[in-house]
Amino acid sequence: MQQQFNQNEQQPIGQTNHGAHEVMATHEVLHGLVGAFNEYLMCEEHTNDQELKDIIQRQRQFMTEEYNILLESFKTGQEPSKQTSVYKMNQSNEVQFGLSGGKPTKPNQAASQIGDKCVSGVMMSCMKSLSSCMTMAATECNNPVVRRVIADSVPNHIEMAYELFLYQNKKGYYQVPQFSGQDMQHMLNAFEPATGNGTMLQ
């Protein structure tokens, strides 16, 4: 029979199955997701391009579901009522290589100067930070459900960051230089396959 506890009494160890590191790391992830919602709301006000607005809305909707799943599994320590899903971007994965001239970038001095280039850059930085935070948090979790939910979120945020990179690249905001042919061949051939099966010598 399950024991009843007053609110002032401490819950028995194992009832929620969370360690201290896991709790702090999960709090950081949840705070990061809340921060992403808020950043996206602010960014949307400065967005003119409909394509970028669609990305904002799709990513925010996905993060809302993701946040609720993580929060449920964190509070209960049990399997959530809804499984995690996979984020699907709408961008083509074609990258435009090379550099073209343009005005150098500098910090904006007024909110009126914020546009699609700035907004997409802020969003991409946000997704990159969240994917790093989630990766670190997943290594701190002892609860297998919370660990899986957070770990499953990492590739989704990598995908969202990549979608924003592709948008920026297509618009010319994020240019991708390349090595010369000779330098590229040198870099590609700098390593050779390992030999043996990796077992230690006797």
Domains and CATH numbers, the chain: 20-89+114-171 (1.20.1260.10)
Q: Are 96 and 20 in contact (CB under 8 A)?
A: no
Q: Are 46 and 115 in contact (CB under 8 A)?
A: yes
Band of the pLDDT at 196, cuts 50, 70, 90?
Answer: confident
Output the 3-class SS for the chain: CCCCCCCCCCCCCCCCCCCHHHHHHHHHHHHHHHHHHHHHHHHHHCCCCHHHHHHHHHHHHHHHHHHHHHHHHHHHCCCCCCCCCCCCCCCCCCCCEECCCCCCCCCCCCHHHCCHHHHHHHHHHHHHHHHHHHHHHHCCCCCHHHHHHHHHHHHHHHHHHHHHHHHHHHHCCCCECCCCHHHHHHHHCCCCCCCCCCCCCC
- Residue 201, pLDDT score: 61
- Residue 200, pLDDT score: 65
Residue 4 has pLDDT above 50, yes or no: no
- Residue 202, pLDDT score: 57
Band of the pLDDT at 18, cuts 50, 70, 90?
Answer: confident
Residue 9 has pLDDT above 50, yes or no: no
Higher pLDDT, 36 or 11: 36
Residue 12 has pLDDT above 60, yes or no: no
- Residue 102, pLDDT score: 76
Residue 182 has pLDDT above 70, yes or no: yes
Tens digit of pLDDT for each residue in 58-72?
999 999 999 999 999
- Residue 113, pLDDT score: 86
Tens digit of pLDDT for each residue in 107-164?
888 888 889 999 999 999 999 999 999 999 999 999 999 999 999 999 999 999 999 9
